[in-house]
Chains A and B, each alone.
Chain A
Amino acid sequence: MSNQVLHALYDDDDVLLKAVKEVREQKHHIEEIYTPFPVHGLDKAMGLEGTRIGIMAFIYGCIGFSVAITMINYIMIEDWPQNIGGKPSFSFLSNLPAFVPVIFEMTVFFAAHLMVITFYMRSRLWPFKEAENPNPLTTDDKFLMEIEINGNEKELTALLKKTGAIEINIPQNHEE
């Protein structure tokens, strides 16, 4: 198990996208790519799995939906029934239209917040976390491709040069 990686720097997203395709065609394993902005189609070019956050959003929405119904039924019907606008709250169904906005908002609230939290957890992000990107240039205008090497540096360097990398280096103090 080699932790040795190679960093190739690119300065254009189109060049990067082409390079990703070529590198993958040569059966090299791309560990990670750092970009200053989301590059359209990069996930597909890298062969990453599609996100499943949509499924979680649906589940979170369903949770919010149920919580909202339970909550508003307790507040408005069971605990403290009131007569609002000539509509006494004796049953949940007969007052449902008034509750729909609340239920809707709670559904959205749960889906949105839980989704953001899920995303942070999956991306291992939390407040005050040290930045992980190996080269600060990737927060400006450069793109960095990180490739695993298994003693094939020469071949790989030649390939990357051909694809238009502007700088290639092997970081010595790479920690995993």
Chain B
Amino acid sequence: MYTFPNKLKNIARVLMLLGFIGLVLGFLGAPKNVAEAKAMAATEHHGEGHGESGDHHEETHVDESHAEKSHAEENHGGEAHGEGSHDSSHDEHLLHQLQNKPWAALYVAAFFFFMISLGTLAFYAIQRAAQAGWSPVLYRVMEGITAYLLPGGIIVIVILALSGMHFNHLFIWMDPEVVAHDKLIAGKVGFLNVPFFLGRAFFFLAGWALYRYFSRKFSLAQDEANDISNHKKNFRISAGFLVFYIVTESIMSWDWIMSIDPHWFSTLFGWYVFASMIVSAVTAIALITIYLKSQGYLEFVNDSHIHDLGKFMFGFSVFWTYLWFSQFMLIWYSNIPEEVTYFITRIEDYNITFFGMIVMNFLFPLLVLMNSDYKRTNYFIIMAGIVILLGHYLDIFNMIMPSAVGDQWFIGIAEIGGFLFFLGLFLYTVFTELTKAPLLAKGDPYIGESERFHY
């Protein structure tokens, strides 16, 4: 049995505390009225994203003139009407952006860590449904990570519900005033309305948590069982879950992320979020496995298992890039104003995070994890893993921030605070769950094959 070391427990607590303070400071720092917002925008980091445009500026130049008009309209969501009172509506908009900032920081971090555990659940179900022979020694680590699913999911849904109650303006379609003046959103009200939205969110989380509950239960029961009936049940529910998951994950990504920008749509968005999710999940599994191994646990995990996780990190990183590029190139090429505005705001206002993320999520893992021997070396997996995790945090950041705060973004105290808080909560939950069961799923019929696994 694993015991949660006090040192790590304290680190998790300190992270939560620091993160909480950061978030509180972020919320206190948000402007309360238009005058404060204007003063803040004047003094602080205005045009942060423009600084690094250098190389890529040229690239977007051709598009600019085409999409300039629509860009202005789109970016301002429903508030671009009323040409006469442009100045005051602009200020109002600035206020909303700055008020959104701590909320968005909270939401990005909450979603990111929730996503890791949901991705791990999907990866776990794939191993179960495929009856994989190499991975059963890692089942308990994966089950530990998925323990964060329910608390993490509840936090995300609470944030969504608070948006529904107009505590923030993350989702502009939730504002009846905006919808009244926006034909495009008005046409989507049948799907995008607060009760249905929250109902869906609740239904999805309930489905995922139920699978998690039963698969964990069967997995623990299998340890002591004389036959493999629990294993078979786990196989069946895992296959069923995967069908449920891929549909709900896709709708979840439209709901929770794409609808922040309700005029824009992309048909492969669900896959794109999935790619981000699964690569973060595999990375988290690898990092936690290596950590536990370094503490003298998981003696049955050998470097072939780490090698396989490294292959998945490499492969899913390339898969993510493939989807990222597929989405980008089609929209860039067709240059339809209502679509291309999505990338124009990101390239103009978020240049460093937008292109930085591609380096972190693609170039770095591609070059570091290409060599077969490096994938067996813990040091390289940890280094690549940390960069991949931060890169996919930035990916979520790039999905949510531009529509929520426009060019007023900054990775400041609220963003870092949000990240640390949820990191602490994640570690605390995961390592607490790891203490509850033996780290080897000894009853699994494939455990012998997994222990002998070598490349």
Residues of A within 8 A of B (CB): 41, 54, 58, 85-88, 91, 93-94, 96-98, 100-101
Contact of A54 among B333, B335, B372 (CB under 8 A): B372
B293-318, CB < 8 A from A: none
Contact of B58 among A86, A91, A98 (CB under 8 A): A91
A98 to B61, CA, bound (A): 16
Assess the A98–B62 pair: CB atoms within 8 A. Answer: no
Assess the A94–B329 pair: CB atoms within 8 A. Answer: no
Decide: A58 near B370, CB < 8 A? Known: A85-B333, A98-B333. Answer: yes
Name the CB-closest residue of A to B331. Answer: A97
A112 to chain B, nearest CB (A): 16
Assess the A97–B328 pair: CB atoms within 8 A. Answer: yes
A85 to B371, CA, bound (A): 40
Name the CB-closest residue of A to B59. Answer: A94
Assess the B55–A94 pair: CB atoms within 8 A. Answer: no
What are 8 A-B residue pairs whose CB atoms fall within 8 Å in the complex?
A85-B334, A86-B62, A87-B62, A88-B62, A94-B58, A97-B329, A98-B333, A100-B329
B317 to chain A, nearest CB (A): 15
A41 to chain B, nearest CB (A): 8
Which residues of the other chain, A, contact B335 by a CB distance below 8 angstroms? 85-87
B332 to chain A, nearest CB (A): 5
Main secondary structure of the interface of B (DSSP, over half): helix
Name the CB-closest residue of A to B328. Answer: A97
Which residues of the other chain, B, contact A98 by a CB distance below 8 angstroms? 329, 333
Which residues of the other chain, B, contact A91 by a CB distance below 8 angstroms? 58
In the complex, which of the residues B55, B62, B325, B328 has the most CB atoms of chain A within 10 Å of its own CB atom?
B62
Q: Does B66 contact A (CB under 8 A)?
A: yes
A166 to B373, CA, bound (A): 38
Name the CB-closest residue of A to B371. Answer: A54
B359-402, CB < 8 A from A: 370-372
Which residues of the other chain, B, contact A85 by a CB distance below 8 angstroms? 333-335
Which 10 residue pairs across A and B have the least CB separation, nearest first?
A: A97-B329, A94-B59, A97-B332, A94-B58, A93-B59, A94-B62, A93-B58, A87-B62, A85-B333, A86-B335
Which residues of the other chain, A, contact B58 by a CB distance below 8 angstroms? 91, 93-94
Name the CB-closest residue of A to B370. Answer: A58
Which residues of the other chain, A, contact B329 by a CB distance below 8 angstroms? 97-98, 100-101
Which residues of the other chain, A, contact B334 by a CB distance below 8 angstroms? 85
CB within 8 Å: A-B pair count: 33
Interface string of B234-262 (1 = CB under 8 A from A): 00000000000000000000000000000
A39 to B329, CA, bound (A): 44
Assess the A94–B61 pair: CB atoms within 8 A. Answer: yes
B327 to chain A, nearest CB (A): 11
Extra 14 A-B pairs, beta carbons < 8 Å, given A54-B371, A88-B62: A41-B454, A58-B370, A85-B333, A86-B66, A86-B335, A87-B62, A87-B335, A93-B55, A94-B58, A94-B59, A97-B325, A97-B328, A98-B329, A100-B325
A88 to B335, CA, bound (A): 13
B307-352, CB < 8 A from A: 325, 328-329, 332-335
Name the CB-closest residue of A to B66. Answer: A86
A91 to B66, CA, bound (A): 18
A96 to B55, CA, bound (A): 12
Which residues of the other chain, A, contact B66 by a CB distance below 8 angstroms? 86
B49-66, CB < 8 A from A: 55, 58-59, 61-62, 66
A166 to B58, CA, bound (A): 73
A100 to B327, CA, bound (A): 13
B65-107, CB < 8 A from A: 66
Contact of B333 among A58, A88, A97 (CB under 8 A): A97
Name the CB-closest residue of B to A98. Answer: B333
A98 to B372, CA, bound (A): 32
Which residues of the other chain, B, contact A86 by a CB distance below 8 angstroms? 62, 66, 335
A41 to B335, CA, bound (A): 53
Assess the A96–B59 pair: CB atoms within 8 A. Answer: yes
A58 to B334, CA, bound (A): 34
A87 to B62, CA, bound (A): 7
Name the CB-closest residue of A to B367. Answer: A58
B157 to chain A, nearest CB (A): 37
A58 to B61, CA, bound (A): 34
A86 to B328, CA, bound (A): 17
A85 to B247, CA, bound (A): 35
A88 to B371, CA, bound (A): 40
Which residues of the other chain, A, contact B333 by a CB distance below 8 angstroms? 85, 87, 97-98
A41 to B455, CA, bound (A): 8
A150 to chain B, nearest CB (A): 34
A93 to B55, CA, bound (A): 9
A83 to chain B, nearest CB (A): 11
A87 to B329, CA, bound (A): 13
A137 to B331, CA, bound (A): 59
Which residues of the other chain, B, contact A100 by a CB distance below 8 angstroms? 325, 329
Which residues of the other chain, A, contact B370 by a CB distance below 8 angstroms? 58
Which residues of the other chain, A, contact B328 by a CB distance below 8 angstroms? 97
Which residues of the other chain, B, contact A97 by a CB distance below 8 angstroms? 325, 328-329, 332-333
A96 to B355, CA, bound (A): 14
Which residues of the other chain, B, contact A41 by a CB distance below 8 angstroms? 454
Which residues of the other chain, B, contact A58 by a CB distance below 8 angstroms? 370
Which residues of the other chain, B, contact A87 by a CB distance below 8 angstroms? 62, 333, 335
Name the CB-closest residue of A to B326. Answer: A101
A108 to chain B, nearest CB (A): 12
B139 to chain A, nearest CB (A): 25
Which residues of the other chain, B, contact A101 by a CB distance below 8 angstroms? 329
In the complex, which of the residues A87, A97, A100 has the most CB atoms of chain B within 10 Å of its own CB atom?
A97
A94 to B347, CA, bound (A): 13
A54 to chain B, nearest CB (A): 7
A32 to B257, CA, bound (A): 59
